Structure 1
Amino acid sequence: MNRRYPEHPMVGVGAVIFRNDRVLLVQRGKPPSRGKWTVPGGLVEVGESLEEAVKREVQEEVGLRVRVDALIAALDRVFLDEAGRIEYHYVLLDFLCVSLEGDPSPATDVMDCAFVGLDALSRYDLTEGTEQLVARALAHVHGARFPIYDSSL
């Protein structure tokens, strides 16, 4: 199915990966949101589990192996074109992941990547909801629990 002007929503996954007081961000290399920063991730392939998709996407985008720990958010992303038609429609499932070794390196679909200090997030041109997602994941690490689906993200 074509990503642009799809007949059905597409399912994507994202990985929130912390190291100390930093989170891994990637700069998107393709539309939508080309050039903006977000967590690594991508579409689930047919026959692939969510966990497999998260691991594959992180490996492909930044070359890191991860352990998938917990689902932290489910959200909708609908992008309209200038005529008001649905150009992209994603249902995204974001997971807290752990990667203890290795340095990320931009590969497929990303222009750049870096572990970014939590206090520096506002200096990046982030995709909608990324800063809130990171805050939610950090709160989850410290024991807070939220409803998984949050239409405000």
Structure 2
Amino acid sequence: MTAEREPRIRCVGGIVHDSNGRLLLVRRGNAPGEGLWSIPGGRVEPGESDETAIVRELREETGLSVTVGALVGSVTRTAPRGVYEIHDYACQVRSGVLRPGDDAVDARWVDAAILATLPLTEMLRETLEAWGQLPRS
């Protein structure tokens, strides 16, 4: 099956910076990316909009309630049965207390120095850098 014919699995991610310019990351507890750090997000469920999926995923994985902003960019990644089509949006925290949940085993705000030490999901650093979304502190 060619890449064009492989099933597309729509996913979303939330790119969130705090008032200090730190970036919100989660450590994945399940495949894909088990044990690696990434921005919070996941699959869009049937009938969900991207915005609804992001709000749900961030609440489940981080305990935070967010407002979804503009689309920052999109990437594709190989999936076990198809291709993950990931759409990442800028988000702002409205409320909540940061705590890992769902398939995230850890959640934290990271600055540039900490980001450099973490095992990240494939191409995360390069993608965030290309989009101007690395931690600002």
TM-score, normalising length: structure 1:
0.76
Matched, 1:138 2:97: no
Asked if the contact 1:16–1:137 (Cα under 8 Å) also holds between the matched residues in 2, the reply is no
User: Within 5 Å, which residues of 2 pair with 1:22-37?
Assistant: 22-37=22-37
TM-score, normalising length: structure 2:
0.85
- Matched with 1:104 is 98
Where 1:120 maps in the other structure, the secondary structure is helix
Query: Is there any run of 5+ residues in structure 2 with no aligned partner, and where?
Result: 1-5
* Percent of pairs with identical residues: 36
Following superposition, the deviation at residue 96 of structure 1 comes to: 0.6
- Shift in alpha-carbon separation, 1:101–1:66, aligned structure 2, 3 A: same
- Matched with 1:90 is 84
Asked if the contact 2:12–2:89 (Cα under 8 Å) also holds between the matched residues in 1, the reply is yes
The runs of at least 4 consecutive aligned structure 1 residues that moved more than 2 Å come to 86-89, 100-103, 132-135
Q: CA RMSD in A?
A: 1.9
Q: Deviations over 1:39-76 (max 9, x none)?
A: 00000010000100000000011110001111011110
- Matched with 1:73 is 73
Query: Is there any run of 5+ residues in structure 1 with no aligned partner, and where?
Result: 1-6, 80-85, 142-153
Q: Deviations over 1:13-39 (max 9, x none)?
A: 000100122100000011011000000
Q: Distance in 2 between matches of 1:90 and 1:60?
A: 20
- Matched with 1:117 is 111
Q: Distance in 2 between matches of 1:95 and 1:120?
A: 22
